[in-house]
Amino acid sequence: MIALVDCNNFYASCERLFRPDLRHTPIIVLSNNDGCVVARSDESKALGIPMGVPFFEVRELVGRHQIEVFSSNYTLYGDISRRVMEVIGERCPEVEVYSIDEAFVDFSVFSGDIWEEKAIELRQVIWDKVGIPVSVGLGQTKTLAKLANHLVKKRKLPQLWLGQGVAVISTVQDRHEALRTVQVGDVWGIGRASVGKLQSEGIHTAFDFIQCSSQWIRQYFTITGWRTWRELQGHHELPFNPAPPIPQSVVFSRSLSECLWSSKRIQQRVKIFTQSFAEKLRHKQVYASQVSLVLSGGYGERHNLGKRNRHLLVPSNDTRILLVEFEQMCTEILSSNPFGVHRVTLAATELVSTNVQQLSLFQAPTNHSIMQLLDRINQKFGRGTMRVGVTPKEMKHLHGRQRFRSPRYTTRWSELPVVDISKRYSVLSEK
């Protein structure tokens, strides 16, 4: 049995954590540069704010309903996520953190008669200790656990609920009923492209989907579609992976708030981004063997694009080494075909763990203590306190537009919330 613990409207809930006055106020959270809506509270959903819509398109609606707007505050969300996962980990031995707001939990470590009790308790304790509301879905496979969670969130099939926020699909009858209730496009792993294909064949619900033959599924979908089909029938096809291997790639990508034409300014941005990118590699404890830079201009299909790759003889995450590589790549791209740059993407592939480093025969090992020191200083005194080759003013460009960012309540001493207890105190002292 697998449980999926999923935080409800995670970013919006994080913003509410330190603003209890907003508990019933509609909230939206915006993407980088305050571009799109990436999270909505229930109230905002009810007001008809779609997911992923450009902010300017709903600005009028936001004003009319006095929706509270936040720029994304990943420092805060990352820390709250860590707390949620920690609480789950304290109570369940096998946890696979799937995303910032979701975790799969192996419930087969508990005996069958306490699954329900455990799920309800888990939900309650996350609320008590962290203050984030979650939904828990239980099923025999990851895909069924997802499905159960979906039922809770969409308020469908209350007969499968156990208290608010927990649903269990355990018997065959439960499963069939759940599959009949859910549209095939709402199944985890079946996206927009497949829905059209399925509907033209008269397949609308998840139950219709599992009625198809194995051959037919294999013929019209890739192996991933077939696995979903199997999972919905209770066969494990997606392994439970509590300790995920090192990632395949690490990407750092930013849209610029304005289109840049000057080579000097583009180089500057690349320099700034390289430092954050290298920091990200170190944080993930990997060295890159291959790095690439993509500069793109404009939106839509017909935008210019320049790409360069570099293979590193000795895999690295050292800012100084990466700066040289990215500066060279940037110069090459810009010299071949200059165009207005609207987006910069840095990527690393062929990653190796920092636990092992393959050295070149003729090169001395890198001195890591300097980078460690750099990271410690920047962590303590704020990002960009110590930099390579750019001024503090330039470094500020990094975050683009963030007009509505909340304080980093839990990770910056200077932004700790202040609680005024003077009134309470005076009452006590009078007594």
Q: Does 280 bind DNA (CB under 7 A)?
A: yes
298: left (phi over 0), alpha (psi -120 to 50) or beta: left
Side-chain half-sphere CA neighbours of 186 within 13 A: 20
Q: Does 239 bind DNA (CB under 7 A)?
A: no
**Angle CA 10–13–14, to nearest 5:** 85
Q: Three-state SS for 380?
A: helix
Contact string 359-378 vs DNA (x = CB under 7 A): --------------------
Contact segment (CB under 7 A) with DNA among 48-56, 174-182, 209-217, 403-411 equals 48-56
CB of 263 to DNA, least distance (A): 21
CB of 299 to DNA, least distance (A): 6
CB of 179 to DNA, least distance (A): 15
Contact segment (CB under 7 A) with DNA among 51-59, 115-123, 371-379, 414-422 equals 51-59
CB of 191 to DNA, least distance (A): 2
**Cα–Cα dist 315/235, whole Å:** 40
DSSP state, residue 56: H
Distance between the two ends of the chain, CA-based, in angstroms? Answer: 56
Contact segment (CB under 7 A) with DNA among 41-49, 80-88, 165-173, 244-252 equals 244-252
* Residue 364 dihedral angles phi and psi, to the nearest 5°: -70, 150
Query: Is there a contact between 31 and 20 (Cβ–Cβ < 8 Å)?
Result: no
Query: Is there a contact between 138 and 1 (Cβ–Cβ < 8 Å)?
Result: yes
Q: Three-state SS for 321?
A: helix
Q: Does 328 bind DNA (CB under 7 A)?
A: no
Q: Does 192 bind DNA (CB under 7 A)?
A: yes
Q: Binding DNA by CB under 7 A: which of 23, 48, 50, 54?
A: 54
CB of 378 to DNA, least distance (A): 17
* Residue 259 dihedral angles phi and psi, to the nearest 5°: -75, 130
Instruction: Looking at residues 98 to 127 of the shown chain, list those that interact with DNA (rule: CB under 7 A).
Output: 98-102
Contact segment (CB under 7 A) with DNA among 152-160, 171-179, 222-230, 358-366 equals 222-230
Contact segment (CB under 7 A) with DNA among 27-35, 77-85, 357-365, 378-386 equals 27-35
Instruction: Looking at residues 287 to 306 of the shown chain, list those that interact with DNA (rule: CB under 7 A).
Output: 299
CB of 423 to DNA, least distance (A): 41
Only one residue has tokens 């500020």, namely: 396
Contact segment (CB under 7 A) with DNA among 87-95, 182-190, 383-391, 412-420 equals 182-190
Q: Binding DNA by CB under 7 A: which of 257, 304, 354, 357?
A: 257
Query: Is there a contact between 91 and 124 (Cβ–Cβ < 8 Å)?
Result: no
Question: By C-beta, is 257 or 406 nearer to DNA?
Answer: 257
DSSP state, residue 163: S
Tell me how long the chain is: 431
**CA Rg, the chain, in Å?**
25
Residues ≥6 apart with Cβ < 8 Å to 221? 194, 229
CB of 429 to DNA, least distance (A): 49
Tokens matching residue 287: 């060295």
Least Cα distance to 250 among 278, 214, 275 occurs for 278
Exposed/middle/buried for residue 212 (C-beta within 10 Å: 0-12, 13-18, 19+): middle
Q: Does 56 bind DNA (CB under 7 A)?
A: yes
Question: By C-beta, is 110 or 212 nearer to DNA?
Answer: 212
Q: Binding DNA by CB under 7 A: which of 255, 263, 304, 378?
A: 255
Q: Binding DNA by CB under 7 A: which of 20, 52, 365, 392?
A: 52
CB of 396 to DNA, least distance (A): 15
Least Cα distance to 305 among 275, 334, 276 occurs for 334
Contact segment (CB under 7 A) with DNA among 97-105, 115-123, 330-338, 413-421 equals 97-105
Given the rule CB under 7 A, which residues bind DNA? 31-33, 35-36, 38, 52, 54, 56, 98-102, 146, 187-195, 222-224, 247-255, 257, 280, 284, 299, 309, 343, 345, 400
